[in-house]
């Protein structure tokens, strides 16, 4: 797949002809997919070419931040997204933000805090809030337990589209929705072009640029561009991490989840048809080490930290337990009649899918795992409606209602599965547990409790904070949930070891299976994408490659100053570990 001086027209024909040979490593996972492709006997026409200063494949949280940063710094950007909603975790995957405890005032970039402000402002401008809710300085629309900003996916979408609007209107950012990468053309250590296909028409486009960012949920560009990467769990022998397994396990990845929204209308019956796999999932007992406490469809699960049985409970009538956990609408915040009932998003231990991976397997196997994950989520809903134990001794809440309108799909499940663990680049620098884990760091440095801090990276391009939080895995591991220290994002983790002009733009950066657990959440992924977009703009302006920026102190200092001016904090004040 190397280009060797073809004319532009021949170059495009070469890439189009090669697309069937370099097939996408993973089938698209977007819900309600209705795209077509040319029939086997049809004549292939040359793909249309588009050019920009930067091509970003993947319109999730990191991809949007990368596009904003690059456009803000003068680049022309093409941004692609597999679904019809940009925003990734916040929108298409229906996952309210998991954030650090200081996020209202610090702990995220200026643009991320602006996104949060716009989400609240959208409610203030467009929704009939009560006077009491309007008086709350930091409104939490759902008053959910998991976040200070539990809200509806469509509101995140609206806020992101508002932020991108001036750049889209000015032709600085072109957004191609429902497009997936299918092939790439490389020349030595550089990516020359990426071919994408429309899921609506089947038409193909060739996207050319001096720089590319992989911001896909599963690192889709890495196999297409032959960029070296890792998957699953590295061995303790290779990383020295206390919580790494003795042997590498490339297919041992965190569970993925098909999230859904539901509300509760007491006295009504919204029971869905019994899912085809209901009996299987009702009786399913996860085979994990240490053991899971019983059936997956139960309110008793393994406490993430202690691994002891924990009954979190559930009561739709009182909106407690799991119902409260990710509640995105508390109707008490709105004038009477605005909402018929409270709305919650279901991303719980009970619908984490453990039986296989949606990538790095044959396409038919990936599709089968996705379908079974959907069946698990629908089975959980049916169980809640019919058989779940009630505090009053009864069973089920028939008034629980699936809300397809909230997630924008026909089947009521999120447009895209929540992927916790991606392919990860073999990076110039890889963040290990010894760099950020509280206990591992204390042991490595000999620091006293309360005085330990994460590794200081001189090439920092941002910050983040979250516990090392690994969900049960496809390889049979139970939770790994341990304290981590407020950390920095090193520039070296965004740079592949070999490929010069491809950057990591989300959780596909240089982290391990272990440290992915604290680098994968919303504000950190946003910061990763923002740093990648800003770096591409800096390199275009300076006519330098990213590796030079990291290697040369004067360039690195200048780039870090640019980030600081753009509102990207590079270091933490003294704060308490999580």
232 secondary structure, DSSP code: S
CA 117 to each of CA 93, 105, 138, 163, 362: distance values in angstroms, whole numbers, following the listed order: 21, 11, 9, 11, 42
Residues 188, 191, 195, CA angle at the centre, nearest 5°? 130
* Residues 403, 390 contacting (CB under 8 angstroms): no
55 closest CA partner among 139, 228, 179: 179
Measured CA to CA in angstroms, residue 9 lies from 13, 48, 184, 336, 369 at distances of: 6, 10, 16, 62, 40
pLDDT tens track, the chain, 578 positions: 333 333 333 333 334 343 333 334 344 556 543 333 333 344 555 779 999 999 999 999 999 999 999 999 999 999 999 999 999 999 999 999 999 999 999 999 999 999 999 999 999 999 999 999 999 999 999 999 999 999 999 999 999 999 999 999 999 999 999 999 999 999 999 999 999 999 999 999 999 999 999 999 999 999 999 999 999 999 999 999 999 999 999 999 999 999 999 999 999 999 999 999 999 999 999 999 999 999 999 999 999 999 999 999 999 999 999 999 999 999 999 999 999 999 999 999 999 999 999 999 999 999 999 999 999 999 999 999 999 999 999 999 999 999 999 999 999 999 999 999 999 999 999 999 999 999 999 998 998 877 899 999 999 999 999 999 999 999 999 999 999 999 999 999 999 999 999 999 999 999 999 999 999 999 999 999 999 999 999 999 999 999 999 999 999 999 999 999 999 999 999 876 56
* Burial class, 203, CB count within 10 angstroms (exposed 0-12 / middle 13-18 / buried 19+): middle
Between the two ends of the chain, the Cα-to-Cα distance in Å is 46
- Rg over CA atoms, the chain: 23
CA angle 72, 528, 62 (to 5 degrees): 70
Report the b/e string of 134-170 with b at 16+ CB within 10 A: eeeeebbbbbbebbbbbbbbbbbbbbbeebbeebbee
Q: Kindly give, in sequence order, each residue whose CB lies less than 8 Å from that of residue 498, ignoring residues fewer than 6 positions away.
A: 189, 227, 228
The predicted structure's pLDDT at residue 432: 98
Given this model, what pLDDT does residue 21 score? 32
For the domain bounded by 8-25+46-224, which CATH number is listed? 3.50.50.60
Q: Where are the domains of the chain?
A: 8-25+46-224, 233-241+424-565, 256-407
290: preceding bond cis by omega (within 30 degrees): yes
pLDDT for 15: 42
Characterize the bridge pairing of strands 487-490 and 460-464: antiparallel
């Amino acid at each position: 797949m190397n280009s060797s001086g073809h004319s532009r027209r021949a170059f495009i024909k070469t890439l189009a002809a090669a697309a069937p040979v370099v097939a996408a490593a993973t089938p698209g996972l977007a819900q309600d997919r209705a795209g077509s492709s040319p029939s086997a006997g049809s004549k292939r026409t040359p793909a249309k070419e588009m050019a920009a200063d930067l091509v970003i494949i993947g319109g999730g949280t990191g991809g949007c931040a990368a596009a904003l940063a690059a456009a803000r710094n003068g680049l022309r950007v093409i941004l692609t997204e597999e679904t019809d909603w940009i925003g990734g975790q916040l929108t298409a995957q229906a996952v309210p933000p998991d954030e650090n405890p200081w996020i209202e005032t610090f702990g995220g970039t200026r643009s991320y805090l602006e996104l949060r402000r716009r989400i609240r402002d959208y409610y203030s401008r467009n929704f009939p809030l009560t006077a009491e809710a309007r008086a709350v300085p930091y409104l939490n629309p759902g008053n959910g337990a998991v976040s200070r900003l539990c809200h509806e996916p469509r509101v995140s979408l609206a806020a992101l589209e508002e932020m991108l609007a001036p750049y889209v209107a000015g032709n600085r950012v072109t957004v191609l929705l429902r497009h997936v990468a299918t092939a790439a053309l490389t020349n030595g250590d550089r990516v020359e072009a990426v071919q994408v296909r429309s899921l609506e028409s089947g038409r193909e486009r060739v996207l050319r640029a001096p720089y590319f960012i992989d911001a896909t949920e599963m690192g889709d560009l890495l196999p297409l561009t032959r960029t070296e990467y890792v998957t699953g769990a590295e061995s303790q022998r290779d990383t020295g991490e206390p919580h790494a397994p003795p042997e590498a396990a490339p297919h041992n990845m965190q569970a993925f989840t098909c999230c859904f929204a539901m509300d509760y209308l007491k006295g009504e019956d919204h029971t869905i048809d019994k899912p085809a796999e209901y009996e299987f999932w009702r009786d399913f007992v996860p085979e994990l080490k240490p053991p899971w406490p019983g059936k997956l469809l139960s309110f008793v699960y393994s406490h993430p930290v202690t691994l002891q049985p924990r009954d979190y409970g559930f009561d739709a009538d009182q909106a407690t337990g799991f119902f409260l956990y990710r509640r995105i609408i508390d109707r008490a915040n709105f004038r009477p009649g605005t909402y018929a009932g409270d709305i919650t998003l279901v991303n719980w231990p009970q619908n984490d899918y453990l039986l296989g991976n949606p990538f790095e397997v044959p396409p038919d196997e990936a599709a089968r795992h996705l379908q079974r994950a959907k069946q698990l989520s629908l089975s959980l809903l049916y169980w809640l409606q019919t058989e779940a134990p009630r505090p009053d001794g009864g069973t089920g809440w028939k008034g629980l209602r699936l809300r397809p309108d909230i997630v924008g799909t026909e089947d009521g499940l999120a447009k895209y599965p929540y992927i916790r663990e991606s392919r990860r680049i073999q990076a110039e620098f890889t963040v290990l547990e010894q760099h950020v884990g509280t206990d591992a760091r204390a042991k490595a440095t000999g620091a006293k409790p309360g005085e330990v801090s994460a590794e200081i990276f001189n090439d920092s391009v941002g910050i983040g904070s979250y516990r090392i939080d690994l969900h049960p895995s496809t390889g049979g591991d139970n939770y790994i949930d341990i304290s981590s220290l407020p950390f920095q994002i090193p520039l070296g983790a965004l740079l592949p070891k070999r490929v010069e002009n491809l950057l990591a733009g989300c959780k596909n950066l240089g982290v391990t299976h272990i440290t992915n657990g604290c680098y994968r959440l919303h504000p950190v992924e946003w910061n990763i994408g923002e740093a990648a977009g800003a770096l591409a703009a800096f390199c275009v302006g300076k006519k330098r490659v990213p590796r030079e920026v990291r290697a040369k102190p004067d360039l690195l200092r200048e780039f870090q100053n640019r980030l600081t001016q753009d509102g990207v904090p590079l270091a933490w004040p003294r704060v308490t570990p999580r």
